[in-house]
Structure 1
Amino acid sequence: MRALVTSSGQRHYLLQQVLDRPGFWSLICYLGAIYYASFILDYRNAEHTRISEHALMPGLVVERFDKDGAVVEYLQGLREQKDHKRSYICQVMKQNGMSCHTQRWWSALKVTNISGTNIYAVLRAPRAVGVEAIVFAVDLHQREAAAMVMAYAAFARQQIYWARDLFFVFVDGGAPGIDAWLSEYHLVRHSALRADRLPEMGGVIIGGVAVKSHTGNSLPHLKLEVNHLNGQLPNLDLLNSMVRIAGSGKFAISPVIYDAPHQEQDGKDSHMLVPLRAMYTQAFIAVVGLHSVMGKYGVQAITVAVPPLNLFPLRKSTRLLEAIARALNNVLERFHQSYFLYILTSPDNFASIAYFMPIIGGLLLPLAIFAYRDWTNLYELVFPRSLLVMHAVGLLSWWLCSTYFSYYTNNPRADVMYMGISTVIPWGLLLPSPVTEIRSLRFFLLLECCLATASVSLVNFSLAVCFALVAVPLMIKCTMDNDSKSRALVRTALVLACHPAGILAVFLSYGRPILGFRKTPVASQDFLISALLRLIKEHLVKNVLHVL
């Protein structure tokens, strides 16, 4: 604390100026953080991407895939054998000299009842002993992508340069399906899924690629999906390699991330759409694709969505997959040399953690300023009882989400709805705080909010920023002393209106269209019900397996 006072024991002049006008300096910090974010997240001011692991050599190999007819044949076979596609895929893989196996999996939770049967084929490396592997995952029900992976597997079987085993996984059931396969591959007991043991496994998975075909009727582009679970991101070298491969002269196809073009289109500059979508998806979207679950097991993976057949030749699409596989085969060791914490501002530019972390510091500094001011004005520090009540309610909510809804509930949908209603109740008001605890309560709330948000930013920066943008002004304004009863009632009503469920409902209805995810907002007559139902579907039911 000596740094905050002078040699005479008086408070430092600059610090005293801040404490005399905390609102003014807090506003400067808050607006300064927003301006800095708009500057640093502009791709014109961001760093240019680069390959740190030079052994990848993306785009330097000569792709030789020439089995266009095999892709068409397998695609036709999948259409004809739609009721027996698993046996058809295994038959094709075995005919091409690879072993093929099936794996049943099912959910162990009461909150959801899903199951499926995965298929995977193994191509053993002729130049190694199987200590490392590469995984290619594709949704079993995406015929075009599955046919392309089958044809490439048949082609790869004839090559002799493989230094790693290749696993071709045809996933049934989306992200839970690949989660079940990976848990058995790594011999990890999954708390939410049960699955058959894998009869054949390999070594450490050096990297993974999830393949799918996207729909579109515009110019062909390569769609890259990067986000892993809970805001994690793959190593930047993996993304850079795919961007380099796609943009090279042999393919000349524009890579697109977060489904957002960063160039000007139709006279409208949308370059900020990429970082905004990056932060939104990192904060609120738990599962983006099959690759998202791979990050849970330490596998660096990305989903590659190739253009449809009517926009891009089959040979080029499969050669694109071949180029990615060759780059992963070239890498000398596990990805570690490039960034894991970054925000993409365009396919070729990014902001590293050293540049974007000051944003959260500027947003949280007002909380620290007001907390320190309250500390200097306290006559006695009293631990408020209502703070214990609020933490107990939070702990109970966590237990209900993680345990009760998973194993003990008999009517999960009704219980989730009851819990949503219970979160609207201001439990802290049920235990009135004495006047002597009010100032201490404010100090603890501001300090805890500041420290907790800063801690979250180390794990999920975007989630912390989205929370701080809303919570910081509300926490400061709604906890100020107010002698007017009418103003206090208005302030209480404002706090209830700014409940997280209400804010998220408004965002889902009017914020997502701004980001381009949905063109029109929800109709006014069913705004709240539709938004809350979408909230439950997208963020509670759909992603419960992966959160657990």
Structure 2
Amino acid sequence: MGLLTDPRTGNGKIIKFVLQWEKWLCFFMYIGGIIWTMLLALPVFNDSTYFSENALLPGLVMKECSLEASAKQFHNELIEEMKRYPDKMPYPWLLAKFNQLYLDVYMHNFTLNYPFREQQFTGQNVYGIVRAPRGASTEAIIVSVPYRPISSVNLNTAPSIALLLAFAKCCRKQKYWAKDIIFLVTEHEQLGMQAWLEAYHGVTSGQDGILMSGDLSGRSGSIQAAINLELHGMKIASVDVKVEGLNGQLPNLDLVNLAQDMITKEGIRRTFQRRPDVNVKNKVSKWWYQFNTLISMIVTQATGVPTGNHGLFHRFGIEAITLEGFERSGRGPEVSFYQVGRVVESIVRSLNNLLERFHQSFFFYLLPSTDRYISIGGLFIKAFASWIRLQDTGIKVEENENPDTKISQLKQNKVEEFDIASIASEILWSHIIGVSIMSSPKLFTSIGSQLWDLPTEDSIYYGFIVTTVLTMFWPFYLRRPRKSDNVALVCVVASIEVATTLLCVAMHNFSLALLTAIIYVPTALAISPKREINSKFRGLLHVFWILLHPFVVASILVMGYTRLNFPGEPLMSILIKGIQATKHAFVFSVIDSMIYGNWFYNVTVAILLPNWILFWNVINSKIAFDS
């Protein structure tokens, strides 16, 4: 009858065991999680890709488009127009070509109000629609290309526009389309795509008044899927499939598998993360290669920055990928636009077969190669289920103890009350500081430009340095005797907050939660409000926790990335380039949160930084460490 009256019956020994070996259990679970992540790259722990959506009918259609000749003609004409317009999109030429193909042609105007200066930037998108002869324009598929002028620092996309026009010419002649096909050429990279999507759906994703998306004069139905093309030459050696979207969102795995399968069928080398599949007999070498591919995806996804225009579709429930084609850099085969055009045609015609939105395959996954995947179930250690079963083993506590004795003992124990007001004030002020810093970039820019005539990136960078120093010295301003129990409760609240944050982030961006846990959890577990901690360990905690300040971590990571990109540069040159790259990274993260709604900056400053401050207060607590 104990199970019916006391839910804790049978768990006493387990609770005592967990409390006694708490630190060691956390340590082994941390190491086990890292080892499990590394083992996921082994074929034993991942699966071969397959199609869950039978309606796609991949590769079963008779391909009718031969796009090479038309694409070459369009490409030659476009190159001449680009020379006439070296810094902007040749709108008249694009409009004329779309009209010649008898598409429904429209232009879209948008304006960006730069948030840190009183400046405005304008842009235009051009799009044409092939109306479905066998449908009522209730559904649509998008084929898009970001236009890049000759003066752009990014790789040229003129071949992509040529292929898009050639494919539009072919689609216009066919009668089997059940969905509208929208051919979209955007300006200013992701900015133009974001403005077009906001105008199409009538929403604002970022802050009001920054990106004025305007209105669309022509539209179609609900967008089912999108293919973004970034082909950098008329001869292609490999095609890389990009999947990472805004805030770590991913497209449905069926769409990724469809693209990879069509690329392989046309004899084109397929890659993921710019890494082709390798056939190595040595199992260790193969595991290491796939593990590096897996880590590359984890790092890319964790930033929350889209790897292409496709990444902006996911928040609207639209599955999208980018096909990026590269020219041959050394030896190896290459293919013409005949094969690449057949790939695009196969994908679009398979999407045309869909009877409903993608929903059967995975939306949460990791890819160690082009033909293997790790589902969300593989991201959790299987032994966790066995540990859960231990909770139901029914180990009974001593039943000989008299309940009246328990009550009398509880009455005799003196319960020391917590200073709730002080604890709540400390937690509240730490989060107020985080929210204030999150909203401070405009203030930093205004002060820096008015007092010292600093550019935006310098104003924000130096402002963050000042706030970092102030947050480090904040506990010393308020240094006063505190009860040990109050400090312990603050430590418990901070631990619960970091665990809850990691859990919530993992529901959206598992890679970001994984990397954050790897960086912060070991030191956070070592922080304890006990008096017995000696001064040497206390000093180590100070050093490690300062290095784990969010802005310090960001600076170190950018410095390391700069070092990897410039291995032969001297140390001073690396330091200068790293600082400059850090400045730009801070500005871009703030702008991304304002325009696109990227919450990487907001989560870091409004949640992770206050949590860092709470642990920093525990480390510097006078009662917690001083005898």
TM range (shorter): 0.7 to 0.9
CA distance in 1, matches of 2:446, 2:344: 41
Q: 1:315 aligns with which of 338, 355, 380?
A: 338
Aligned to 2:439: 399
Task: Give runs of aligned pairs for residues 289-438 of structure 1, distance below 5 A.
Answer: 289-308=308-327, 311-358=334-381, 380-383=417-420, 384=423, 385-400=425-440, 412-421=456-465, 422-425=467-470, 426=472, 427-432=474-479, 434-436=481-483, 437-438=486-487
Q: 1:359-393 deviations in whole A, cap 9, x for unaligned? A: 9989xx9xxxxxxxxxxxx9544442332221111
Given that 1:109 and 1:407 are in contact with CA atoms closer than 8 Å, whether structure 2 keeps it comes out as: no
Q: 1:151-180 deviations in whole A, cap 9, x for unaligned? A: 110111011111111111111100010111
Given that 1:138 and 1:170 are in contact with CA atoms closer than 8 Å, whether structure 2 keeps it comes out as: yes
Instruction: Provide the secondary structure at the position in 1 that maps to 2:440.
Output: helix
**Cα offset for 1:407?**
11
- Runs (4+) of structure 1 moved beyond 6 Å? 5-11, 359-362, 403-411
1:151 and 2:184 are equivalent in the alignment = no
Q: 2:541 aligns with which of 472, 480, 491?
A: 491
Aligned to 2:490: 441
CA distance in 2, matches of 1:40, 1:438: 39
Aligned to 1:98: 103
Distance 1:8 1:140, change over 3 A: closer
1:203 and 2:221 are equivalent in the alignment = yes
Given that 1:509 and 1:521 are in contact with CA atoms closer than 8 Å, whether structure 2 keeps it comes out as: no
Aligned to 2:124: 117
Quote the RMSD (CA, aligned, Å). 3.3
Given that 2:230 and 2:323 are in contact with CA atoms closer than 8 Å, whether structure 1 keeps it comes out as: yes
Query: What residue identity is the alignment partner of 1:200?
Result: G
CA distance in 2, matches of 1:344, 1:350: 5
Q: 1:183-218 deviations in whole A, cap 9, x for unaligned? A: 11112245331134211101000100000114799x
Distance 1:285 1:70, change over 3 A: same
Aligned to 1:184: 199
Instruction: Provide the secondary structure at the position in 2 that maps to 1:271.
Output: helix
**Cα offset for 1:354?**
1.8
Q: 1:315-342 deviations in whole A, cap 9, x for unaligned? A: 1111111111101111111111111111
**Cα offset for 1:346?**
1.6
Distance 1:91 1:7, change over 3 A: closer
Distance 1:381 1:353, change over 3 A: farther
Given that 2:234 and 2:336 are in contact with CA atoms closer than 8 Å, whether structure 1 keeps it comes out as: no
Question: Where in structure 1 are there 5+ consecutive unaligned residues?
Answer: 366-377
Aligned to 1:370: none
Task: Give runs of aligned pairs for residues 261-276 of structure 1, distance below 5 A.
Answer: 261-263=276-278, 269=286, 270-276=289-295
Instruction: Provide the secondary structure at the position in 2 that maps to 1:161.
Output: coil
Aligned to 1:502: 552
Query: What residue identity is the alignment partner of 1:88?
Result: W
Distance 1:15 1:438, change over 3 A: same
**Cα offset for 1:21?**
2.7
CA distance in 2, matches of 1:30, 1:14: 20
Query: What residue identity is the alignment partner of 2:468?
Result: T
Question: Where in structure 2 are there 5+ consecutive unaligned residues?
Answer: 149-156, 389-414, 450-454, 599-627
CA distance in 1, matches of 2:49, 2:480: 54
Query: What residue identity is the alignment partner of 2:432?
Result: A
Instruction: Provide the secondary structure at the position in 2 that maps to 1:157.
Output: helix
1:213 and 2:260 are equivalent in the alignment = no
Given that 1:130 and 1:203 are in contact with CA atoms closer than 8 Å, whether structure 2 keeps it comes out as: yes
**After alignment, is 44-53 or 223-232 more displaced?**
44-53
Distance 1:432 1:214, change over 3 A: farther
**After alignment, is 418-427 or 294-303 more displaced?**
418-427
CA distance in 2, matches of 1:521, 1:503: 24
Distance 1:26 1:322, change over 3 A: same
**After alignment, is 106-115 or 298-307 more displaced?**
106-115
Aligned to 2:257: 240
Instruction: Provide the secondary structure at the position in 2 that maps to 1:413.
Output: helix
1:32 and 2:32 are equivalent in the alignment = yes
Aligned to 1:62: 62
CA distance in 2, matches of 1:17, 1:216: 66
Given that 1:262 and 1:272 are in contact with CA atoms closer than 8 Å, whether structure 2 keeps it comes out as: no
Aligned to 2:401: none
**Cα offset for 1:424?**
4.1
Aligned to 1:537: 584
Instruction: Provide the secondary structure at the position in 1 that maps to 2:52.
Output: coil
**Cα offset for 1:504?**
3.0
CA distance in 2, matches of 1:44, 1:404: 53
Given that 1:300 and 1:335 are in contact with CA atoms closer than 8 Å, whether structure 2 keeps it comes out as: yes
Distance 1:408 1:336, change over 3 A: farther
- Taking only the aligned residue pairs, the percentage that are identical comes to 23
Distance 1:343 1:428, change over 3 A: farther
Query: What is the total number of aligned residue pairs between the two structures?
Result: 526
**Cα offset for 1:108?**
2.4
Instruction: Provide the secondary structure at the position in 1 that maps to 2:263.
Output: helix
Distance 1:8 1:349, change over 3 A: closer
CA distance in 2, matches of 1:252, 1:17: 59
CA distance in 2, matches of 1:464, 1:121: 41
1:107 and 2:156 are equivalent in the alignment = no
Query: What residue identity is the alignment partner of 1:501?
Result: F
Query: What residue identity is the alignment partner of 1:129?
Result: A
**Cα offset for 1:397?**
2.3
Query: What residue identity is the alignment partner of 1:346?
Result: S
CA distance in 1, matches of 2:382, 2:579: 30
**Cα offset for 1:287?**
2.1
Given that 2:140 and 2:179 are in contact with CA atoms closer than 8 Å, whether structure 1 keeps it comes out as: yes
CA distance in 1, matches of 2:47, 2:458: 49
**Cα offset for 1:473?**
0.8
Aligned to 2:151: none
Given that 1:47 and 1:351 are in contact with CA atoms closer than 8 Å, whether structure 2 keeps it comes out as: yes
Given that 1:262 and 1:274 are in contact with CA atoms closer than 8 Å, whether structure 2 keeps it comes out as: no
**Cα offset for 1:42?**
2.9
Query: What residue identity is the alignment partner of 2:488?
Result: R
CA distance in 2, matches of 1:80, 1:487: 68
Q: 1:262-307 deviations in whole A, cap 9, x for unaligned? A: 4267985411122111111111141211101111222110001134
Name the TM-score, length of structure 1 as normaliser.
Answer: 0.87
**Cα offset for 1:505?**
3.0
Given that 1:424 and 1:499 are in contact with CA atoms closer than 8 Å, whether structure 2 keeps it comes out as: no
**After alignment, is 8-17 or 122-131 more displaced?**
8-17
Instruction: Provide the secondary structure at the position in 1 that maps to 2:368.
Output: strand
Aligned to 2:524: 475
**Cα offset for 1:416?**
1.6
Given that 2:562 and 2:577 are in contact with CA atoms closer than 8 Å, whether structure 1 keeps it comes out as: no
Given that 2:198 and 2:204 are in contact with CA atoms closer than 8 Å, whether structure 1 keeps it comes out as: yes
Query: What residue identity is the alignment partner of 1:227?
Result: E
Instruction: Provide the secondary structure at the position in 2 that maps to 1:346.
Output: coil
**Cα offset for 1:412?**
3.9
Q: 2:241 aligns with which of 210, 215, 224?
A: 224
CA distance in 1, matches of 2:9, 2:184: 69
